[in-house]
Structure 1
């Protein structure tokens, strides 16, 4: 009998058990590729911050940035991620985004129009 040891953990993330691979990336069984954790974390942060502003927990981006201990300009750039087309967000969460779509690229300027976003950020769709 042969025993194979694969170093991985099964932490609860978002209420579900997830597989964390040895390199720290999340295994996504739907796509069979690791999910880009920095992009997913940035999206989660953006939508959480938007919820905090909309609920009145923070009255302004300045107040939010102070509470989160980040620069106001950074908070503004992250909040812009909530303007991404839903299918682009879905692709990122499923780990199917194009390689050129990185956190750095998303924190830069991108079109607000979803069709233009798909052309510029996506696969041309």
Structure 2
């Protein structure tokens, strides 16, 4: 547009993306090759924080069993056990989650139900 061109009332902008469900919420997924912005998954970060807090409470002797701690927290012991498994992740995986550089497939639901025994770098980092 130049200065002499009248400004149109409507401007149409086409942005290629698709909507995907991630951790129970919808997100826009950019096409391959587009630059990825770092965005932390707050649900996953919150679960990590809870897991390490619960681990600390158990290790300190404040609670002697997972069942006792789960009762105090008002959650099922089986859920607490699955969340506590997050404390076994390698430090670089935890760092990727906190930085928001984990792969889109790394969600809380997947981490609680389908944690692989062997991790390959391409599975959990966007790098």
Structure 2: 5+ residue runs without aligned partners? Answer: 1-35
Q: CA RMSD in A?
A: 2.3
| Larger RCO, structure (CA 8 Å, separation 6 or more) | 2
Are 1:72 and 2:98 counterparts? no
Residues 88, 118 of structure 1: 8 Å contact kept: no
Residues 33, 95 of structure 1: 8 Å contact kept: yes
SS at match of 2:39: strand
- Which residue matches 2:48? 43
Q: Which runs of 4+ in 1 moved over 3 A?
A: 118-121
- Aligned positions, number: 92
1:60 to 65, 68, 88: 65
Partners of 2:122 and 2:81 lie apart in 1 by 21
Which entry has the higher C-alpha Rg, 1 or 2?
2
Partners of 2:102 and 2:116 lie apart in 1 by 17
Distance 1:32-1:50 versus aligned 2 partners, 3 A rule: same
Partners of 1:80 and 1:100 lie apart in 2 by 18
- Which residue matches 1:117? 119
Residues 97, 122 of structure 1: 8 Å contact kept: yes
- Which residue matches 1:97? 102
Q: What's the offset of the Cα at 1:110?
A: 1.9
TM-score where L is the length of structure 1: 0.66
Structure 1: 5+ residue runs without aligned partners? Answer: 1-30
Residues 85, 117 of structure 1: 8 Å contact kept: no
Distance 1:96-1:119 versus aligned 2 partners, 3 A rule: closer
Distance 1:63-1:120 versus aligned 2 partners, 3 A rule: farther
TM-score where L is the length of structure 2: 0.65
